[in-house]
A and B are shown apart, each in its own frame.
Chain A
Amino acid sequence: MRYHPLAEADRAEMLDAIGAAHIEELFAAAGDALLKKPLDLPCGRSEMAVERHMSALAARNTPASSVPFFLGAGAYRHHVPASVDHLIQRSEFMTSYTPYQPEIAQGTLQYLFEFQTQVALLTGMEVANASMYDGSTATVEAVLMAHRVTKRRKAVLSGALHPHYAEAVRTLSTLAGDDVISLAPDVSGQEDLIGAIDAETSCVVAQTPDVFGNLRDLRGLAQACHDNGALLVVVVTEIVSLGLVTSPGEMGADIVVCEGQSLGNGLNFGGPYVGLFATRAEFVRQAPGRLAGQTVDADGRRAFTLTLSTREQHIRRDKATSNICTNSGLCALAFSIHLTLLGETGLRRLAGVNHAGAVALAKELAQIDGVEVLNSVFFNEFTLRVPGDAAVLVETLAAHGVMAGVPVSRLLPGAGLDDLLLVACTETVTPQDRAAFVDALEGAL
């Protein structure tokens, strides 16, 4: 086996040193639990054979890069500069562990400190942690943190929060015995979240751009939350939008959670992604996850280390703020490198290109008979009303080589929204792609 350095002679010598006659002696404690014969599994294969097998599986999928592609709904296809993937594959980044020995992990710790700073700046918040698994689990953690901060246990969820995120919050809350009020699906962006707040509300969770693509002005909601002693949790699933639109922090958010996949990370069929978690400095001791902090070493030189770990499971066990251990380090690095390459100038331009393309596409699609764009304000994704069933339409267009978007019924089946299609347009979409979409849609209707 090419990954096993020990030769039979080594094994024999080692058994000798241990004083065991046979390898089985080392497993004696397992007794009756040991299998009497090998499991029914295939034998090991060469690198070439495995590559052939996996490539055959991969070939049965349609990659986004092979077709005009308009899917979003929480996962976005963006161009990732070639140097990002090269750098994250450096052995010292990819094959290191959580930086428990800071003297020999300053590379990881410094990039986490830089990542935290970038996230704080981008979201307009004071502090950010060293990443969560993804946007949805970060949202669950934000609700739990709001319960701890306010000592209340009722969350209010916007009807335009990504349905998977809302389901993840509801599932855990139901099992943990916490209350959740979920507003009805809200395509218009006009729902009355303020009216849902009462004296028991720990937080309101609202998304912008919301799952239907609407940009939401959350300033009034922030005020109403604070007037009632509740926190405003703002969810952002398309982080590139923050290059162009007002940050959640400026709108008064108390906790901001984001899906960071758009920067540095591929679609990967849904994971691994990277959750961003930012909040106010006053709440940091209630925050989940790892935090990298600055300090000095014995020679007085600046250095970085994991800190405030008395919040964490390996110290506090059942009193910890979260059970999270492994998070999303390498994806956070990819995010941070991509954002470093962009810089402020590049991010603003990237956001501009996204918005311009989406505005153009919305205009082009709206000219098709029977098709309606429902949003007045949006970033790079909007909701299209089509005649008939959007899911059927998507299958038809896929057969014609256009990946048209995400039918709302895929996320909200049975909600009576079967004629709605979520359409995203990033910088990877060319004018030719847009024309192909328009043609295919006209042909299908």
Chain B
Amino acid sequence: MLDRPTRPGPQDSAPPPPTFSGHDGLDHEEPLLFEIGRLDASGVDFDSPEPFEDRLGGLARTAPIGLPGLSEPEAVRHYVRLSRKNYSIDAGIFPLGSCTMKHNPRLNEKMARLPGFADIHPLQPQTTVQGALAAMQELSDWLTTLTGAAAVALPPKAGAHGELCGLMAIKTALRARGEAETRKIVLIPQSAHGTNPASAALLGFEARALSAGEDGVVSVEAVRAAAGPDTAAIMLTNPNTCGLFERDIAAIAEVVHAAGGYVYCDGANFNAIAGLARPGDFGVDAMHLNLHKTFSTPHGGGGPGAGPVVLSERLAPFAPVPFLRRGTDGALRLVEQPEGQSFGRLSAFHGQMGMFVRALTYMLSHGGDGLTQASRDAVLSANYLRASLRDVMSQPFGDRICMHEVLFDDAFLKDTGVTTLDFAKAMIDEGYHPMTVYFPLVAHGAMLIEPTESESKASLDAFVATLRALCKAASDGETGRFTQAPRRAPRRRLDETLAARKPVLRWSADSSQSR
């Protein structure tokens, strides 16, 4: 009876003709909201307002806003289709160096959504939020124990905000010493994140670049030569963005302290050493912790993050408000008005509570033992990649043990006609998100790979096999595989020059026609 074919007939291998729908199988082209929405459509039902006399004082809006709406099924479809154009850590290894794309446990999400955390107002009476304050205190205790710091400032909302917070504490401390006007220089290695010099400049500091040695780390001598009576601070990333431990950091801290400056540590890479070493032990005065890196809160396509800053005894008195204090009755209170030497307020309310809950959940799940294991596995995995790729890729500072990430340069692509960017785009066709490219600036055509502890050995091996095959293809002269990549992504390479020269930053009826 069945006349439905159950085996494929002869299939050719010619490229398929364009589709009639414009879609590409499961990859749907999705118009802009403004091309499918309607001003009179809505996916939310309301009761009509009670009759009222308006108290708007003549400020009622008269002209239409122009905001399109969608019914719920249309909206769900729009966003689900958009989501499918994204790569994600849930779908595959996301080896962005210095960004720490580790697994985001779903228990964290569930806990952050408990009404007792998600549905409380920052200005409720403090007697009604004692559990939230206790969670903040627990998080603080974990962070100070892990870092060996005296105190922690919870308000900063991201890593760069944490840098700003730490430098504000340093500037306030310098003022208290009467040296804010004479100490203007912040020493920053060339391999640092761009946020470091940008944060320093915001406060009127002058960023002075420090060169690393042949071995990729900053030497005590270089710091001794640069540090002096005009030094406000040094900003060091440890492990640094070349994936190397700044082995002289304790001695460097001594030199900077002896010169009268402070030591800021960019904690973006703390995930390499959590549970194994404490920045407080090597002289760090302030360090931000990206909860969205080391402590697994999701990156969300660019935030929200959280960047609490741990502080040494020296800087703790200058911490911003609010901070927690336990009363004699055992109750926790937020101190919201600056007192003593506090530098003041960084932002509204008390910090990224939703991220605190997620990070605390992560720490409780791991425990001290699990966090230590995570650091070891992250470093082990990066070194495994290094060992598995060192004969086919090139390392700017020679083949040396790395921490949680391994840095390659483009020397191995010399004379192949393939650039770092081409190599990265070819990885997309292979189903991988590329590593961080062209950063740090100290390596030519840099490729910075951070696997994290979340990858199985099978996943690492598959990744290695693909990279090795790509290296061979490059040296075999298969240039087109790289220069024409990606071909198997929702889009091919973009014209970024056009985007910058003729910026179209919002939809309008005109811009829509150039589709």
* Selected contact of A62 from candidates B44, B112, B120, B202, CB within 8 Å: B120
Taking a contact as CB atoms under 8 Å apart, the answer to whether B515 and A302 are in contact is yes
Assess whether B50 is in contact with A356, with CB atoms less than 8 Å apart. Answer: yes
Q: How far is the CB of A322 from chain B (nearest CB, A)?
A: 7
Query: Could you tell me which residues of chain B, from 25 to 49, have a CB within 8 Å of some CB in chain A?
Result: 30, 32-34, 37-44, 46-49
A35–B134 Cα gap in the complex (Å)?
28
User: Closest residue to B217 on the A side, CB-wise?
Assistant: A29
The answer on a CB contact under 8 Å between A44 and B61 is no
Chain A residues within 8 Å of B380, by CB: 6, 11, 14-15, 18, 23, 26
CB < 8 Å neighbour of A403 from B34, B124, B499: B124
Q: Is the beta-carbon distance between B505 and A164 smaller than 8 angstroms?
A: no
Q: Is the CB of A168 within 8 A of B346?
A: yes
Indicate which residue in A25, A55, A242, A398 contacts B401 across the interface (CB closer than 8 Å). A25
CB contact list, A125-151 vs B, under 8 A = 126-128, 130-131, 133-137, 140, 144
Interface range for A: 35 or more
The residues of A that contact B54 with a CB separation of less than 8 Å are: 355, 359
- CB pair B372–A108 under 8 Å, yes or no, is no
Q: Are B120 and A64 in contact (CB under 8 A)?
A: yes
Residue of A nearest to B344 (CB): A171
Instruction: Closest B residue to A79 by CB, please name it.
Output: B44
Q: In the assembled complex, how far is the CB of residue B501 from the closest CB belonging to chain A, in whole angstroms? A: 10
Check if B434 sits within 8 Å of A101, measured CB to CB: yes
A339 close to chain B: CB less than 8 A: yes
Residue among A69, A131, A250, A344 with most chain B CB within 10 A: A344
Tell me the chain B residues, 351-381 only, with Cβ under 8 Å from chain A: 351-355, 357, 360-361, 364-374, 376-377, 379-381
B212: interface (CB < 8 Å) = no
Instruction: Report how far A51 CA is from B109 CA in the complex, Å.
Output: 11
Complex formed: what's the CA distance from A307 to B511 in Å? 16
- Docked CA distance A269–B123 (Å): 8
Q: A165 touching B301 by the CB < 8 A rule?
A: no
- Shortest distance between the CB of B482 and any CB in chain A (Å): 14
A81 to B44, CA, bound (A): 7
Q: Are A30 and B59 in contact (CB under 8 A)?
A: no
Chain B residues touching A, range: 35 or more
The residue of chain B having its C-beta at the shortest distance from the C-beta of A353 within the complex is B49
Are B505 and A116 in contact (CB-based, < 8 A)? yes
Docked complex: B89-140 residues within 8 A CB-CB of A:
89-91, 94, 96, 99, 101, 103-105, 107, 109-125, 127-132, 134-135, 138
**C-beta contact mask, A233-248 vs B, less than 8 Å → 1, else 0?**
0000000001111110
Contact A136 B127 (CB under 8 A): no
CB distance from B313 to the nearest CB of A (A): 19
CB–CB B30/A110 < 8 A: yes
A339 neighbours in B (Cβ, 8 Å): 67
State whether A114 touches B494 (Cβ < 8 A).
Answer: no
Judged by a CB distance under 8 angstroms, whether A199 is at the interface is no
User: Quick one: given A15-B380, A98-B299, A245-B60, are A110 and B109 in contact (CB under 8 Å)?
Assistant: no
Tell whether, in the assembled complex, residue A95 and residue B55 are in contact, meaning their CB atoms are under 8 Å apart: no
Given contacts A42-B367, A295-B495, A341-B75, are A270 and B349 in contact (CB under 8 A)? Answer: yes
List the count of A-B residue pairs having beta carbons below 8 Å apart.
Answer: 725
In the complex, the answer to whether B111 meets A71 with C-beta atoms within 8 Å is no
Contact (Cβ within 8 A) B350 A271: yes
Q: Is the CB of B198 within 8 A of A14?
A: no
B489 within 8 A of A: yes
Chain B residues whose C-beta falls within 8 Å of the C-beta of A340 in the assembled complex: 33, 37, 43, 68-70, 75, 78
* A295 close to B515 (CB less than 8 A): no
Contact of A270 among B65, B351, B486 (CB under 8 A): B351
B347 to chain A: which residues have CB within 8 Å? 133-134, 136-137, 140, 164, 168
B-chain residues with CB within 8 Å of residue A156 when the two chains form the complex? none
- CB <8 Å contact, A29 and B245: yes
Contact B116 A5 (CB under 8 A): no
Answer whether residue B88 sits at the interface, using C-beta atoms and an 8 A cutoff.
yes
Among A47, A86, A93, A379, find the residue whose CB has the most chain B CB atoms closer than 10 A.
A93
Q: Are the C-beta atoms of A39 and B198 separated by less than 8 Å?
A: no
Q: Bound complex: CA of A167 vs CA of B347, how far in Å?
A: 8
Please determine whether A104 and B433 come into contact, CB atoms closer than 8 angstroms: yes
Question: Judging by beta carbons under 8 Å apart, are B123 and A103 in contact?
Answer: no
B172: interface (CB < 8 Å)? yes
Whether B49 and A355, one on each chain, are in contact in the complex, defined by CB atoms closer than 8 angstroms, is: yes
1/0 per residue, CB under 8 A from B, across A170-194: the answer is: 1110111100000000000000000
B500-A71 in contact (CB<8A): no
- Docked complex Cα distance between A378 and B164 (Å): 36
Q: Contact between A313 and B343 (Cβ–Cβ < 8 Å)?
A: no
B117 A343 Cβ-Cβ under 8 A:
no
Establish whether residues A39 and B172, one from each chain, have CB atoms under 8 Å apart when the complex forms: no
Contact B117 A303 (CB under 8 A): no
A residues in contact with B506, CB < 8 Å: 113, 116-117, 120, 126-128
**Is A384 located at the chain interface by the 8 A CB criterion?**
no
Q: Please name all residues of chain B whose beta carbon is closer than 8 Å to the beta carbon of A243 when the two chains form the complex.
A: 61, 65
Q: Is B222 an interface position by the 8 A CB rule?
A: no
**In chain B, residues 296-322, which have Cβ atoms closer than 8 Å to a Cβ of chain A?**
298-306, 320
Q: Contact: A4 with B377, CB < 8 Å?
A: yes
Interface flag for B2 (CB, 8 Å): no
Q: Which residues of A contact B455 (CB under 8 A)?
A: 5
Interface contact B80-A90, CB-CB below 8 Å? yes
Given contacts A4-B370, A355-B56, contact A295 B348 (CB under 8 A): no
Tell whether B397 is near chain A: CB-to-CB under 8 Å. no
Please determine whether A71 and B124 come into contact, CB atoms closer than 8 angstroms: yes
Which residues of B lie under 8 Å from residue A130 when comparing CB positions?
302
Say how far B331's CB is from chain A's closest CB, in angstroms: 11
Query: Which of B49, B495, B515 has a CB less than 8 Å from the CB of A352?
Result: B49
- Judging by beta carbons under 8 Å apart, are A167 and B194 in contact? no
Known A103-B486, A322-B198; contact A341-B42, beta-carbon cutoff 8 A: yes
| Residue in contact with B490 in the complex, picked from A62, A95, A106, A310, CB distance below 8 Å | A106
Expressed in whole angstroms, the Cα–Cα distance for A271 and B84 within the complex equals 28
Report the separation of the CA atoms of residues A167 and B160 in the bound assembly, to the nearest whole angstrom. 20
Tell me which residues across on chain B come within 8 A of A353, comparing CB atoms: 46-47, 49
The residue among A23, A54, A327 with the most chain B CB atoms within 10 A of its own CB is A54
Is the C-beta of B204 less than 8 angstroms from some C-beta in chain A? yes
Alpha-carbon distance between A343 and B366 when the two chains are bound, in angstroms: 43
Partner of A45, one of B111, B127, B367: B367
Chain B positions 224-260 with a Cβ under 8 Å from a chain A Cβ: 244-245, 247, 249-250
What are some 7 contacts across the A-B interface (CB < 8 A)? A1-B373, A11-B380, A71-B123, A96-B86, A104-B489, A114-B32, A176-B203
The 7 A-B pairs of least Cβ separation, nearest first, read: A343-B69, A58-B116, A41-B368, A270-B349, A60-B131, A330-B300, A377-B57
